[in-house]
Amino acid sequence: MNHTKTLQVRVRDKHAPLLRQMARSVNLVWNYLNELSHRSICERGVFLSAFDLHPYTKGAGKELGLHSQTLQYVAAEYVTRRKQSRKARLNWRKSGGVRRSLGWVPFNTGAASWKNGQVYHNGHYFKVWDSYGLAQYRLRSGSFSEDARGRWYFNVVVELETQLSTGQGAVGIDLGLKDVATCSDGQRLENGRFYHDLEPKLVSAQRAGKKARVRAIHAKIANRRKDALHKFSRSLVERCNTIIVGDVSPQKLVRTKMAKSVLDAGWGQLKTMLAYKCAHAGIVFKVVNEAYTTQTCSCCGALPDSRPRGIAGLGIREWICECGVTHDRDENAARNILALGHERPVEGIPGA
């Protein structure tokens, strides 16, 4: 059984001027389609599809320095984003100024290939740091993309043979702030406090107006967080065949005073990694309603009066149930989450 995966490799910096020029052309096409679609909606009440938009850009690829399939991809992506946002007109893609859009040059299957140890696209060769051995893969659709520091990356979808996990057993995961993740078997991912640790340097660079330094610090924070989450998620996939996670929502908590800590924890990123890694390894991944999992005893299923409750109970890390069992707050929640994932609701969890 095969599955697809997106690989990302960095493009050599000497190609940045060419890619920036191509990105400006992509922005021009996007803005043209944006205005064209908006006028059609306002004047005729007609929403143009990607098929309707293609004739307006046909033949413009050579003059713009873009592959013809890139024009088609931009039109399809524009229509998809317009439908998702439910707006008659989307934001403009800006090629300059403070709010400049990061560079993006998409392509469809067949528009990029691996030749002579380089990526060949639209008549140009691009040298990359090939950490995956791209020669062994058949390249499908993808894109060239720019990060905040002006570095360019080649992102491409490839087909891989599914490597089934040899792991045994199941694990429930409770997401939190003291520890980013606590497993039902006791394994934990400590909160690395990546943002908090580098915040003094970040503030100093911002006050000094060193924009390049600010971007570099933000990149370091993101890379450290991603590395820790990748290692933790990989270890889980290698040793388990079922992974159950609580449905805690970072989007809701970022509106509170805990916003910085929530974003620094990277809950959403961890769940995304687990989802695709489990799919690639052929193991079960579920997200369940974690309501009352912290307050319910995972041994007897009761909701005792001694349980930690609400915001006032956040500081309570251990509690004793009326049945006499002493619980670690997070491990108890993880065990309840695991039970819910097995569709064996613990008695006493309302609405589970």
pLDDT of residue 347: 43
User: What one-letter code names the amino acid at 343?
Assistant: E
Please indicate, yes or no, whether residues 127 and 185 belong to a single structural domain of this protein.
Answer: no
Please indicate, yes or no, whether residues 180 and 271 belong to a single structural domain of this protein.
Answer: yes
In a domain, 119, yes or no: yes
In a domain, 231, yes or no: yes
Burial of 340 (0-12, 13-18, 19+ CB in 10 A): buried
Report residues of the chain scoring pLDDT below 50.
345-348, 350-352
In a domain, 24, yes or no: yes
Say what the pTM is: 0.78
In a domain, 215, yes or no: yes
Half-sphere exposure of 231 (CA within 13 A, CB side): 8
In a domain, 268, yes or no: yes
Please indicate, yes or no, whether residues 154 and 194 belong to a single structural domain of this protein.
Answer: no
Please indicate, yes or no, whether residues 92 and 155 belong to a single structural domain of this protein.
Answer: yes
Please indicate, yes or no, whether residues 154 and 200 belong to a single structural domain of this protein.
Answer: no
pLDDT tens for 124-165 read 999 999 999 999 999 999 999 999 899 999 999 998 877 777
Please indicate, yes or no, whether residues 151 and 176 belong to a single structural domain of this protein.
Answer: no
State which of 132, 161, 190 marks the end of a domain.
Answer: 161
State which of 137, 161, 185 marks the end of a domain.
Answer: 161
In this structure, what are the phi and psi dihedrals at residue 118, rounded to the nearest 5 degrees?
-140, 165
DSSP state of 11: B
In a domain, 310, yes or no: no
How far apart, in whole angstroms, are the C-alpha atoms of residue 6 and residue 48? 30
pLDDT of residue 273: 93
Please indicate, yes or no, whether residues 208 and 266 belong to a single structural domain of this protein.
Answer: yes
pLDDT of residue 183: 92
Locate tokens 């933790």: which residue?
A: 232
How many domains are contained in the chain? 2
Four-residue CA torsion sign, 123, 62, 78, 18: positive
Range of the domain at 278: 170-288
pLDDT of residue 311: 55
The two tokens of residue 339 are 């039970």
In this structure, what are the phi and psi dihedrals at residue 79, rounded to the nearest 5 degrees?
-65, -40
Please indicate, yes or no, whether residues 175 and 155 belong to a single structural domain of this protein.
Answer: no
The two tokens of residue 294 are 């912290």
In DSSP notation, 98-150 reads TTPPPPEEEE-TTSEEEETTEEEETTEEE-B--SS-GGGS---SEEEEE-TTS
The angle, 0 to 180 degrees and rounded to 10, between the axes of the packed helices 267-281 and 211-239 is 40
In a domain, 339, yes or no: no
Please indicate, yes or no, whether residues 267 and 174 belong to a single structural domain of this protein.
Answer: yes
pLDDT of residue 298: 78
pLDDT of residue 164: 75
Beta strands (DSSP E) in 184-232 are: 188-190
State which of 288, 313, 337 marks the end of a domain.
Answer: 288
Please indicate, yes or no, whether residues 203 and 271 belong to a single structural domain of this protein.
Answer: yes
In DSSP notation, 18-63 reads HHHHHHHHHHHHHHHHHHHHHHHHHHH-----HHHHHHHHTT-HHH
The two tokens of residue 103 are 């560079």
In a domain, 320, yes or no: no
Please indicate, yes or no, whether residues 11 and 138 belong to a single structural domain of this protein.
Answer: yes
Please indicate, yes or no, whether residues 137 and 181 belong to a single structural domain of this protein.
Answer: no
